[in-house]
Each structure stands twice: as C-alpha cells, then as structure tokens.
A = this chain, B = another copy of it.
C-alpha cells in the first residue's frame, strides 16, 4: 500500500480557478474529504450510542443502537475506499480530529432532546456540505459520499420525538431553537478553522466539478441550498429557524 501524505496537500500550490486538476491533487482532496467524513461518522456512531444510553424508553434504546450500527457500517465503507486510494483511514482522519473534538466539546447536549436536535440539525447541515463538496471528486467517490450520507432513519426518529416533546411542553421549542442556532454557529466556526488549515483542499473543492466540468466559484451558490435545507429541517421539527 502506497501511503499518501495528506499533509502534502496543504503545502501544494493552490491551482488557479479553472485549472483542470491533476490526479494526484484530486486524489489527495478525496483522501482529505473522505477522512473528514470518516471521522464525522465515527463521532456520529459514538453519539448515537450515547443517545441510546440516555434514552428514556427501552424501545428507543434499541432504535438508536440500530442507527449507530448503520452509521458505523458506513464508516467501514469509507475506510475501505480510502484504503484503495493508498491511505489508511486513521491517517486521513487525523487532520480533522482537533476541530471535530472541539466542536463536540463546545456543543455537549444538556439532554436527550438537545442531542437529537444536534444530530438532525447540526449533522444535517454538515452532511449537506460534505455532499456538495464531493461534487469536485471523481464520480465514484461522489457516488460513495451520496450513498453513505443518505438518511438511515434518524430524521423520522428525531422529528417524531422532538415534536412529541413540544406537544407535551410548548416551552421546549424556544430552548431547542436557540440550541440549533448555537450549533450552526459553532459548526461554521469549526469549518472555518478546517478551511484555513487545508487551503489546498478548499481550492480543489471550490475550483471545479468533476461531474459536468462546470465551475461554481461563488460560495453563495453553494451555501444557499444548504440554508434552505437547514430551514426545512427546523420547520420539520416545529422550530423557528
């Protein structure tokens, strides 16, 4: 197995907008993005298992355990793909551990409901972002990313539980809406940290799209649909965005 040094990406010269990226650059970008995604999946797995632990109902424990297992099996798929690119998933994940762990530490949920909202809303916007970024990768890498980011059933689970809690106690809605806003703010802060440390990754991901060759240099064009999807998730929960 040939090891790809992911740190070489950060020191590579940023390509000018419109450049056709060489295979090495795109492969390194794929390793980076998939490493980020893999670590997000491990953390999601651990958090779903923790939600299982604190679930008030036994039936919910089993349901959350099942979601955690589904998340881990998707991590395994990403890890296998990264290995085929010539890199261990541990090496690929390492650059993103600090930012991720800091986000987790700053957004520790106070209870089960906050944790459900964190996974549905916070992870939801992150997943949309990863999917959007993955358009710059090879079609098979993009295909993998869309498959492992599809909903495993958590959305329905979270919406039902949060709506049920608000129906029982309407004051919950205000607290959870504030919480969701804080999550998004912290996620943006950490995304900026990652972007500033991996400038070449950002350059590759924003410079071109591999599927149709079209360029979307305007970040607004990338972020507008993410915000629409975010608002839709807030509305599904019955929360003010």
Binding site for B on A (CB under 8 A): 42, 45-46, 49-50, 52-53, 58-59, 61-62, 65-66, 68-69, 72-73, 75-76, 79, 89-90, 93-94, 97
Contact = CB atoms under 8 A, between A and B. Distances in A.
Contacts of A97: 58
Contact of A65 (B45, B59, B61): B45
A52 B46 contact: yes
Contacts of A75: 62, 65
Contacts of A89: 62
Contacts of A45: 49, 52, 65
Instruction: List the 4 shortest-distance A-B pairs measured between CB atoms, nearest first.
Output: A49-B49, A58-B90, A46-B53, A69-B69
A62 B49 contact: no
Nearest to A47: B53
Contacts of A73: 69
A89 B72 CA distance: 23
Contacts of A53: 46, 50
A50 B58 contact: no
A115 to B, nearest CB: 14
18 contacts: A42-B65, A45-B65, A46-B49, A46-B65, A50-B50, A50-B53, A58-B90, A58-B93, A58-B94, A58-B97, A62-B75, A62-B79, A62-B89, A65-B72, A66-B72, A68-B72, A69-B72, A69-B73
Contacts of A65: 42, 45-46, 72, 75
A90 B61 CA distance: 10
Contacts of A94: 58
Contact of A59 (B46, B58, B59, B90): B90
